[in-house]
Amino acid sequence: MNPPPKLWTVSSVLQWTSSQFQKHQVDAPRLTAELLLAHVLQCKRIALYLDYQRPLEAHELHAFRSLIQRRLKGEPTQYLIGTKEFYQRSFITDARALIPRFETELLVDFALEKLPKNQKARVADVCTGSGCIALSLALERPEAEIWATDISKEALSLAKENHQRLGCPPNIHWCEGNLLEPLPPACLPLDLLVSNPPYLCAQEMQNLQREVRFEPALALYGGNDGLQFLSTLIHEAPRFLAHGGWLLLEIGENQSEKMRPQLMEAGYADILIHQDWSGLCRIAQARWP
Amino acid identity, position 271: I
Residue by residue, DSSP assigns the chain as -PPPPP--BHHHHHHHHHHHHHHTT-SSHHHHHHHHHHHHHTS-HHHHHHTTTPBPPHHHHHHHHHHHHHHHTT--HHHHHSEEEETTEEEE--TTSPPPPTTHHHHHHHHHHTS-TT--EEEEEES-TTSHHHHHHHHH-TTEEEEEEES-HHHHHHHHHHHHHHT--S-EEEEESSTTTT--GGGPSEEEEEE----B-HHHHHT--TTGGGS-GGGTB--TTS-HHHHHHHHHGGGTEEEEEEEEEE--TT-HHHHHHHHHHTT-EEEEEEE-TTS-EEEEEEE--
pTM of the model: 0.93
Tens digits of pLDDT across the chain (289 residues) = 344 457 899 999 999 999 999 999 999 999 999 999 999 999 999 999 998 899 999 999 999 999 999 999 999 999 999 999 999 999 999 999 999 999 999 999 999 999 999 899 999 999 999 999 999 999 999 999 999 999 999 999 999 999 999 987 788 999 999 999 999 999 999 999 999 999 999 999 999 999 999 999 999 999 999 999 999 999 999 999 999 999 999 999 899 999 999 999 999 999 999 999 889 999 999 999 9
